Amino acid sequence: MTMTKEEILEAYRFRHATKEFDPSKTISDDDFEFILETGRLSPSSFSAEPWRFVVVQNEQLRNKIKNSSYGAASKLPEASHFIIILARTPLDMRYDSAYLKEQQIRDVPKEHLTRRLEILEEFQRHDFKLLDHERFLTDWAVKQTYIPLANMMTAAAQIGIDSCPIEGFDIEEMNQLLDEEGLLEDGHFTISVMIAFGYRKKEPGPKTRRPFDDVVKWVK
């Protein structure tokens, strides 16, 4: 069934950064798998898919996250579901890494692979200068993870589920915690952002945004 434009806009109006979740309400497995699938199907540069979605339902780990992240403190343990989005590090994001080579093989015919890898190197080395500093490749991966982040939050809103993106944490401290839990795969991943999902405890105030004409500029 095709949604109308107004139905889609209503989901965007419904979505807000939910500060408090109702602990008595739980998202169904079917609904949450739908949300995760919209993240998995998200686009990425050079089909890199530089992300992993870690769904944290373990109570002990949730408490560790709550105590290490001021942004998650008011969302855990009340949120129905909690995702940590990991981004791949330069070990996987350099043009000549085994991971990116494998991704290109999946995306292009074998006879075009050499040229595709040359284009990828040119993009990283000259166009975006991602090889000038190791941090740049990590940042390239991290900013791509915000595509599935947005898609999952919007998809959730379309079926009446609330969410809240969370950046309130110390990256080094969270990476240490996740590494101790064996989730970073020997430095192949780093934390990017977290998301809490559930059902709002109370209705939010009116949504405020800058005027349309201030945000949108036409060049004709």
Tokens of 155: 């998809």
Domain boundaries of the chain, sorted by first residue: 19-90+141-199
Asked if pLDDT for residue 146 goes beyond 80, the answer is yes
For 166, the enclosing helix (H) or strand (E) is strand 162-166
* Confidence (pLDDT) at 78: 95
* Cα 193 from Cα 61, distance rounded (Å): 16
> How many other CB atoms are there within 10 angstroms of residue 186's CB atom?
8
Q: What is the mean pLDDT of residues 138-145?
A: 98
Burial of 129 (0-12, 13-18, 19+ CB in 10 A): exposed
* Confidence (pLDDT) at 16: 95
* Cα 216 from Cα 43, distance rounded (Å): 24
Q: What pLDDT, in 10s, does the model give residues 149-203? A: 999 999 999 999 999 999 999 999 999 999 999 999 999 999 999 999 999 999 9
Asked if the 19-90+141-199 domain carries CATH number 3.40.109.10, the reply is yes
Residue-wise DSSP of 3-60 = PPHHHHHHHHHH--B-S-B-TT----HHHHHHHHHHHHT---GGG---EEEEE---HH
* Confidence (pLDDT) at 109: 83
Query: What letters, b where the CB count within 10 A reaches 16 and e where it falls short, cover 94-119?
Result: bbebebbeebbeeebeeeeeeebbeb
Tokens of 212: 């349309």
- HSE, side-chain direction, 13 A CA sphere, residue 6: 0
* Confidence (pLDDT) at 1: 59
Residue type at 106? Answer: R
Q: What pLDDT, in 10s, does the model give residues 78-108? A: 999 999 999 999 999 999 999 999 999 887 8
